[in-house]
């Protein structure tokens, strides 16, 4: 069982301290949610876990199965089983979703997956997410709606099968139908693979569909409260000022 453990993490961006001593644990098969207002450091935290070079770890550890990965590059962290779903995915003209995913899968495995084998896998995963196969022929995120971008992120999740998925505001900009599609996709992949999920969100509504085992409230770069799914409901009703 893969475990992601954050210990007393302090992170700065351009000399300003953003994350100020965060500690938490995510185990395989577990859903952990981080809620908090804008500017609380949630996205900084998950980007730092994934190894974004703009974020500097000033103190603390990021452990995967008790191995400190602070010095590892993003691709090395990915090969250990980490995956980050971006809040604002980039568009890449001329690169189809299918080619992108096969390249990513080969980089993860360190081998070359034969095209017929990969296409069979891709069709299976798209079926799991109730996606039409024609979607795989489109250029990556080019002209995509917000919902299509998020569904494409979940397709990447399904194909790459990470052990721990970091979902950064996957619900942002989604209407209720798109939210359900994305949530159903995450739940389907989790059920199939047993991955752990660290989910960043502003709102409790996503947690109606992806049930958290733990909820952390982050304000001003710190975890100020933790609890179970009921904490998310309480914050939704009372607001973040109540937590502060």
Strands 56-64 and 3-13 come out as: antiparallel
Rounded CA-CA distance 218/244 in Å is 10
Q: Per-residue pLDDT for 117 more than 90?
A: yes
Confidence of residue 203 (pLDDT cuts 50, 70, 90): confident
Q: What is the pTM of this model?
A: 0.91
Residue 224: the pLDDT is 95
CB atoms inside a 10 Å sphere around CB 238: 10
40-73 pLDDT tens trace:
999 999 999 999 999 999 999 999 999 999 999 9
- What is the pLDDT at residue 128? 81
Cα–Cα distance for residue pair 64/62, rounded to 1 Å: 7
Q: Which of 229, 91, 53, 82 is nearest to 167 (CA)?
A: 82
pLDDT tens digit sequence for 141-194:
999 888 888 889 889 999 999 999 999 988 877 888 888 888 998 999 999 899
The band of 86, judged by pLDDT with boundaries at 50, 70 and 90, is confident
If one looks up domain 3-90+162-243 in CATH, what number appears? 3.40.50.300
Distances (CA, A) of 176 to 11, 85, 109, 158, 185: 34, 19, 36, 22, 14
What does the domain layout of the chain look like in residue ranges? 3-90+162-243
pLDDT of residue 67: 95
Phi, then psi, of 132 in degrees rounded to 5: -70, 135
**What pLDDT does 218 receive?**
96
């Amino acid at each position: 069982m893969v475990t992601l453990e954050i210990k007393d993490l302090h992170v700065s961006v351009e000399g300003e301290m953003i994350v100020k001593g965060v500690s938490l644990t995510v185990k395989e098969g577990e859903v952990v949610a981080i809620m908090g207002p804008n500017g609380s450091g949630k996205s900084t935290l998950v980007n730092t876990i994934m190894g974004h070079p703009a974020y500097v770890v000033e103190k603390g550890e990021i452990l995967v199965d008790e191995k400190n990965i602070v010095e590892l590059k993003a691709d090395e962290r990915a090969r250990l089983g980490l995956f980050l779903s971006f809040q604002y995915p980039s568009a890449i003209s001329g690169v189809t979703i299918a080619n992108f995913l096969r390249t990513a899968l080969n980089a993860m495995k360190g081998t070359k997956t034969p095209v017929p084998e990969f296409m069979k896998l891709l069709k299976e995963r798209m079926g799991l997410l109730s996606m039409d196969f024609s979607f795989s022929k489109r250029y990556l995120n080019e002209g995509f709606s917000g919902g299509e971008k998020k569904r494409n992120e979940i397709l990447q999740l399904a194909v790459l099968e990470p052990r721990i998925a970091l979902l950064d505001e996957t619900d942002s900009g989604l209407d209720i139908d798109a939210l359900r599609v994305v949530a159903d996709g995450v739940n389907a992949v989790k059920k199939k693979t047993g991955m752990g999920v660290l989910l960043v969100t502003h709102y409790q509504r996503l947690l109606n569909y992806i049930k958290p085992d733990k909820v952390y409230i982050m304000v001003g770069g710190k975890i100020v409260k933790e609890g179970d799914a009921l904490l998310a409901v309480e914050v939704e009703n009372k607001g973040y000022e109540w937590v502060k």
